[in-house]
Amino acid sequence: MKRTLFIIFAMIVFGLVGSHATFASENMGSIKDSAFLVLHFQNGVAHPDGVWGKMLYPQVVKNGSIGNTKKALEAARKKGMLVIYVNIAWRPGYPELPENTCALLRGAKEKNECLRGSWGAEVIKELEPKENEIIVINFGSDGFEGTDLDMILRVKRINNIYVTGQCTEHVVATTVKRAVNMGYTATVLKDCTSGFTDQNYEAMLKILPLYGTLITSSDFVSKVLPALAEH
């Protein structure tokens, strides 16, 4: 009986979420108050030789997330949307990480990976930043924690963020949840991200609509950007 009630409740909740997602997409602001975020698309994460990329890259290829992000990024630039990169990197000695840091980050520390200025901390070649595009440095799975991302967004009067990145269950989900709790509206380009496993990715696609809207890169280019440009 309890299980049946839970299933019914879940269906109601996700039904409401679906309605809200449609409503949100109709009130998404303008180019001027929107930003395109590129999270952790760097060599350490999204390259087959990266410290995390060695595990994640097959899923990156499977989802076509690099090519999809490149298409959406180029379209956002042409429309004049603010582009912000967030890369994970640390100083020598890893002063930003506690001794008992989580297993996900411990591997990089033990292998001396993703130090500032290193290959692992650089954006992958396919998505290289243009001159004067902003690169924020973070230290974990949150694009906001300990960074100036929020300050930059507020100075630029940004209300809406369009999110791409690697990987879904870590920096993408954490940053989206934090952004929404801080008052931003978030939209995730779901084919511009990947999970370490199919199960992780699919689970996040069920959870993230509770916080924002999920669209494809094609939706972003053909529907969202033209609508934003009209405002």
pLDDT tens readout for residues 156-214: 999 999 999 999 999 999 999 999 999 999 999 999 999 999 999 999 999 999 999 99
* Proportion of the chain above pLDDT 70, given as a percent: 88
Average pLDDT across the chain, whole number:
91
**Full-model pTM:** 0.89
- Of 78, 32, 83, 74, the C-alpha closest to 217 is 74
Query: What is the model's pLDDT at position 231?
Result: 82
* CATH number where 198 lies: 3.40.50.850
Strand partners, 150: none
Indicate the DSSP class of residue 168.
Answer: I
pLDDT of residue 23: 36
How far apart CA 28 and CA 40 sit, in angstroms, is 25
Return the pLDDT at 98: 93
Q: How many domains does the chain have?
A: 1
Query: If you ran DSSP here, which 8-state letter would residue 123 be given?
Result: B
The per-residue pLDDT for range 58-99, each reduced to its tens digit, is 999 999 999 999 999 999 999 999 999 999 999 999 999 999
Instruction: Assess whether the previous peptide bond of 192 is cis (omega < 30° from 0).
Output: no
d(CA 124, CA 205): 25
pLDDT (mean) for 35-50: 98
| Res 22 pLDDT > 50 | no
State which residues form the domain around 60: 2-229
